[in-house]
Amino acid sequence: MEILPFGQIHLDFHTSPLIGGIAEDFDAEKFAKTLKETQVNSVTVFAKCHHGMSYYPTKVGVMHPHLKSDLLGEMIQACHRERIRVPVYISVVWDEDAARKHNDWVQVNKEGKLAERPPLGSIRWRSLCLASPYVSYLEEQTKEILENYEVDGLFFDTVRQIRPGCICNYCLDSMEKLNLDPKNDGDLRRHSLRIEREFMEEMNKLVRTISPQISIFYNSRLRILPSPEMGIRPEVDFFSHFGIESLPSDLWGYTHFSYFGRYYRTLGKEILGMTGRFHENCRWKPHPLWVGRMSQSLGRFWLLKKQVRFRIRVFSSPFLWSKVLHRRSTSPQRRIGDFRLQENSRGLCLREREGEVV
């Protein structure tokens, strides 16, 4: 079992090609020294984001038009000089540049509409199909990164087909060969799962051929389902470790990490927990009782339990710290300021000293 670093940060860097001056004032040495001074020994940096922009001179993809340097290479080299581990982030089904150039690569839902974001929409991303030639493009990007940079791991983000399934021409051809009915939701789900797992299997073969020892993680795969076949267990070998993304103030809620952590620690791999919140996220709506108590600082979390480590984006609230301390404590509750998490027969609930607030 791979031993993960103690202090890990995940940097999100989805930057529109309309934004100028990318990394103009970036100082790689200062970046790495700041991480070292704060006892961070692993940081995930971006190779390609949801916009489809690469942050290095690429011959396969599209380099961000306003980036004039090898940002990826500078970060990796500077961090390695400080003995900081550097996994690299690659966006998978969300690649706006590829979706714009290759409309036939985009997933199609049962109603015959492009998945997630419509052509004139402005919210969410278009999802590319893992049964389309896009996968070959992504494999070439991955190969280029592995052959040109000394990366310590790969973080593949958003590895998923829509549900119940995609009915683009590539998927329809594939389902016909497998004798599956695209009008049947069960067959669509089974085909989606097959396509996702085939992608991970092929990507693992590619990565292990070039870099046998690096870590591999596929985001958007972790789930808890009653069906063993539809759940995570058949996919366990694709992962070097599990990363539980759980941002209580965004979409996940305050019981998600405890629930997933307790299940995934039984599967024989180390667990990396991402908690905190997206800084200035437009979807983030803090509770009025604690909006004034939010910390705006960068920080890091310590070891939670025997196999659980935390990585952050930007954090945090007293509630998050309360949750961390609750999971470390053997007592059923732990106070932080005016609040505490209490465990009862219904799970976790948040209480104020003088009454329930959530």
Higher pLDDT, 279 or 176: 176
Spatial separation of the C-alpha atoms in residues 141 and 135, rounded to whole Å: 10
pLDDT at 118: 83
Pick the closest to residue 133 from 183, 158, 99 (CA basis).
99
**Strands 333-336 and 42-48, sheet pairing:** unpaired
Residue 27 pLDDT exceeds 50: yes
Rounded alpha-carbon distances, angstroms, from residue 275 to 157, 215, 228, 249, 262:
16, 20, 27, 9, 16
CB 339 within 8 A of CB 357: yes
**Do residues 273 and 243 make contact, with C-beta atoms less than 8 angstroms apart?**
yes
| SS3 call for 228 | coil
The amino acid at 245: E
Report DSSP state, residue 266.
T
Is 238 buried (19+), middle (13-18) or exposed (0-12) by CB count in 10 A?
buried
| CA atoms of 65 and 219, how far apart (whole Å) | 27
Q: Does 214 score more than 50 pLDDT?
A: yes
For 106-150, write each residue's pLDDT tens digit: 999 999 999 998 888 888 899 999 999 999 999 999 999 999 999
Residues 109 and 132: their CA atoms lie apart, in Å, by: 15
pTM, entire model = 0.79
Strand partners of residue 46: 89
pLDDT at 263: 94
Q: Quick check: 246 and 256 in contact, CB under 8 A? A: yes
Rg (CA), the chain: 21
Asked whether the predicted pLDDT for residue 213 surpasses 60, the reply is yes
As a whole number, the mean pLDDT across the chain is: 81
Instruction: Give the single-character DSSP code of 107.
Output: -
Q: Please tell me the total number of residues recorded for the chain in this structure.
A: 358
Phi, psi (degrees; rounded to nearest 5) at 180: -110, 145
- Phi and psi angles of residue 63, each rounded to the nearest 5 degrees, phi first: -75, 145
Q: Which residue has the tokens 């465990």?
A: 343
CB 232 within 8 A of CB 169: no
Distance CA 187, CA 189 (A): 5
pLDDT tens-digit series, residues 165-196: 999 999 999 999 999 999 999 999 999 999 99
Residues 170 and 269: their CA atoms lie apart, in Å, by: 35
* Helix, strand, or coil (residue 353): coil
Strands (E), 201-326: 215-218, 242-245, 271-275, 308-312
Residue 283's pLDDT is what?
46
Domains and CATH numbers, the chain: 8-240 (3.20.20.80)
